[in-house]
């Protein structure tokens, strides 16, 4: 079974520029998550989708971050404009849907963003 795919793997941008990350979840997984992981810390949930609807975006900085999952499959996370403190690894994860346990949440390899 193919895992969660993310691209690009690495991105370097200057502050105030824009950037977008892409995620392709495991086939058939209805729930998709975006996490931000700052170096030395645990991942922090930014947004959770159930199909193409948002379940939780309480920790998403909405003035600069946006995410969409228009067809309920792939998702993009955008930052505009980027700040230095946005330097982090952005992880995408997916799971089957409501009722599944945390161990059934599978993570992609992440995109490492460096803002200079």
The binding site for other proteins (CB under 8 A) comprises 4, 31, 40-45, 48, 55-56, 91, 93, 95, 98, 100-103, 105-110
Cβ 44 to other proteins shortest distance, Å: 7
Using the minimum distance from each CB to other proteins, give the nearer residue, 42 or 53: 42
Angle at 65 between CA 11 and CA 22, to 5 degrees: 45
Q: What share of the chain is helix, strand, coil (3-state, %, to 5)?
A: 5, 45, 45
Cβ 16 to other proteins shortest distance, Å: 28
Of 111, 114, 99, 100, which Cα lies nearest the Cα of 46? Answer: 111
Using the minimum distance from each CB to other proteins, give the nearer residue, 100 or 116: 100
Using the minimum distance from each CB to other proteins, give the nearer residue, 80 or 100: 100
Using the minimum distance from each CB to other proteins, give the nearer residue, 82 or 93: 93
What's the CA gap between 104 and 100, in Å, rounded? 6
């Amino acid at each position: 079974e193919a895992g969660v795919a993310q691209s690009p793997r690495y991105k370097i941008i200057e502050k105030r520029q824009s950037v977008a990350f892409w995620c392709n979840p495991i086939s058939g997984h209805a729930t998709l998550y975006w996490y931000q992981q700052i170096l030395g810390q645990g991942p922090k949930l930014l947004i959770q989708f159930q199909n193409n609807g948002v379940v939780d975006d309480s920790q998403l900085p909405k003035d600069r971050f946006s995410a969409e999952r228009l067809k309920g499959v792939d998702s993009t996370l955008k930052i505009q404009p980027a700040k230095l403190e946005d330097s982090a690894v952005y992880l995408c994860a997916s799971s089957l849907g409501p009722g599944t346990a945390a161990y059934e949440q599978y993570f992609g390899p992440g995109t490492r963003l460096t803002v200079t």
